[in-house]
Amino acid sequence: MIESLQHLPPAAGSNGELASQFTDLAPPLTARQAAVEAARCLYCYDAPCMNACPTGIDVASFIKNIHDGNVDGAAHGILKANIFGGSCARVCPTEILCEDACVRNNPAEREPVRIGLLQRYAIDNARFNGHPFQRAPSTGKVIAVVGAGPAGLSCAHRLAMLGNDVVVYEARPKAGGLNEYGIARYKLPGDFAQQEVNFLLSIGGIHIEYGRRLGENLSLAELHTRYDAVFLGIGLGTSRALGLTGEDAPGLMAAIDYIAALRQASDLSLLPVPRRAVVVGAGNTAIDMAVQIRRLGAEDVTLVYRRGLESMSATGHEIEIAKANFVRIRTWAAPLEVLLDEAGRVSGMRFEQTRMEEGRLVRTGGFLEIAADAVFKAIGQSMGEESFNEPLARELSREGDRIWIDNRFRTALPGIYAGGDCVAPGQDLTVQAVQHGKLAALAIHEDIQAHIGTHMEAAWPT
C-alpha cells in the first residue's frame, strides 16, 4: 500500500498546480470541429471500424447523426451497444481498434477519422430526458453480480433493461472498478467515472452492496442458492510479485495501488513523491504510472522492460505519451535485485541485461544499476487465491489464474457466469469487459427464460 512511501516527501506544489497536470489528455471537440470531422467519414456500408469495435458500435451511423446535428441520436446509438461509451471514448485504444481500421487510415492520407473524439462529443453533449432506455416488464427474476467494474455493471444494466432485478456486490467503497481506481487520472479526470455509474444506475432495478468481497464476507455457494443466476466480474486485483528479496521494503509498491491512491486523493499535494523512480513493466499500467509520477514532480523516471520496445504490450500511442512526458525507457533489462540503503529502504534496482537467442530470452551477464527512491511494479495482475477459498469456488475450472468460460460466458458450474479481465479469453481492455458483461447478460436472460419455458411445459397437464 501507499504507506510504503510515507518516508518520502510530499509532492512539490499546491493542489491546484498539481491538478492542472491531470486535466483531459486531449481537449474535447467543439461543435464546429465535430461537424468538420464527421464530414470526413465516408459512412462505409460494411464499415471496418464497426467490425473492429469490441462492442459493435455502429460507428458510421453515429457519426452520420453528428453530421446531421442529431447528437442525442448519436449518443443513443453508442450507448445501446456500449453503456460505458463515455469512458471508452476516453480510455479505449482507438488507435489499434476502430481508427486503425478506418479506410482513411491509408498510405495516401494516414489520418483516420477521429472516432474516439467524436464518440466523446456525442456522449458529452447529449441531453436525454431521463434514462435513454426503458426497462422491459418484470421477469420476477433476481441475479447476483459480483464486482461493480465495467463488466459487472454492463451485465447489470443489460439485465435490468431486460426486466430482471440485480444485486451487485462490490468489495470497495465505490463502484466503477478500473475506471474509478485504475485508469490514469488524466484520462478520466474529475468525477467522470462516478457520473457514468450514476447514469447507468438510473435505469432502475439495480442495487449495490459495498464492502462485500468474494471469499471474505461473501459466499459463492450462498449466492448460487439464493439467486436465479450469478455473474462474476471480479477483475484482477492482485499485483504479481517480482519474486525478489527486498520486495516488501519501504519504497517498493504495486503501481495499481499508487494509481488508486492518486485517483482517490482530494489533495494531490499530500501524496508522497520520489525524486527518482523506477517503473518495472511494459503495459499501459506501467505507462500510466510512469507518466503520472512524472507529472506529480518526480525528476527522473525510468521505465524498465526485459524485452525490446517492439514487444511492449503498451500501444505506440501510450509509448509516445511517456516520451512526451520525459519518461526514460530502458529495454533488454530483467529485474535482478532490489537495492536497499542502510535503513532498509529502497535505494535503486539492479538489472541483468538480456537479449534474444534463437527465439529465447537469455541473460547476458551484463548488469545495470538504476538509483531510485521508489520502485513501482507493473508486471500484471491476478485474481488472488482468496476468491477461491470455499469448496464451490474451487470447483470453477480455470485456465492459468483465470476462470474458464464457454462461448456463452458460462463457467463449469451451472447458473454461474463470468466475464471481463477474470476470464481466460481476455485482452484486459475496458471495452472488452463491457462487451463481456453485455453478452453474458443476454445469455443469462435467455437461459433463465428457456428454463422457465421448459419447467412450465413439463408441469402443464397433457
pLDDT of the residue at 452: 58
What was the pLDDT predicted at 427? Answer: 67
Give the containing element (helix H, strand E) for 54.
none
Per-residue confidence (pLDDT) for residue 3, from 0 to 100: 87
Q: What is the pLDDT of residue 237?
A: 82
Strand partners, 417: 231, 410
Helix, strand, or coil (residue 336): strand
Contact 233, 149 (CB under 8 A): yes
> In the prediction, which pLDDT does 275 show?
97
CA atoms within 13 A on the CB side of 449: 12
**91 and 188 in contact (C-beta within 8 Å)?**
yes
User: What's the grid cell of residue 374?
Assistant: 521508489
pLDDT at 426: 61
d(CA 256, CA 239): 7
Q: What pLDDT sits at residue 372?
A: 97
Q: What is the pLDDT of residue 425?
A: 67
Each residue's pLDDT, cut to its tens digit, for the chain (462 residues) gives: 688 999 999 998 999 999 999 998 889 999 999 999 999 999 998 899 999 999 999 999 999 999 999 999 999 999 999 999 999 999 999 999 999 999 998 888 779 999 999 999 999 999 998 899 999 999 999 999 999 999 999 999 999 999 999 999 999 999 999 999 999 999 999 999 999 999 999 999 999 999 999 989 999 999 999 999 999 999 988 899 999 998 999 999 999 999 999 999 999 999 999 999 999 999 999 999 999 999 999 999 999 999 999 999 999 999 999 999 999 999 999 999 999 999 999 999 999 999 999 989 999 999 999 999 999 999 998 887 888 888 888 889 888 889 999 999 999 999 999 999 999 766 678 999 999 999 999 999 999 988 754 443 433 333
Rounded distance between C-alpha atoms, residue 296 and residue 322, angstroms:
14
Q: What is the pTM of this model?
A: 0.93
Sequence-distant (6+) residues with CB within 8 A of 251 are 4, 5, 7, 8, 274, 345, 346, 347, 372, 373, 374, 375
* Alpha carbons 436 and 233: distance in angstroms, whole number: 9
Strands 333-340, 346-357: pairing is antiparallel
Contact 155, 68 (CB under 8 A): no
Residues 142, 143, 146, 149, CA torsion sign: negative
Here the cell at position 421 is: 479481465
358: alpha, beta or left? (left if phi > 0; alpha if psi -120 to 50): left
Q: What is the number of residues in the chain? A: 462
Between CA 287 and CA 214 the distance in angstroms is 30
Count of C-beta atoms within a 10 Å radius of residue 44: 14
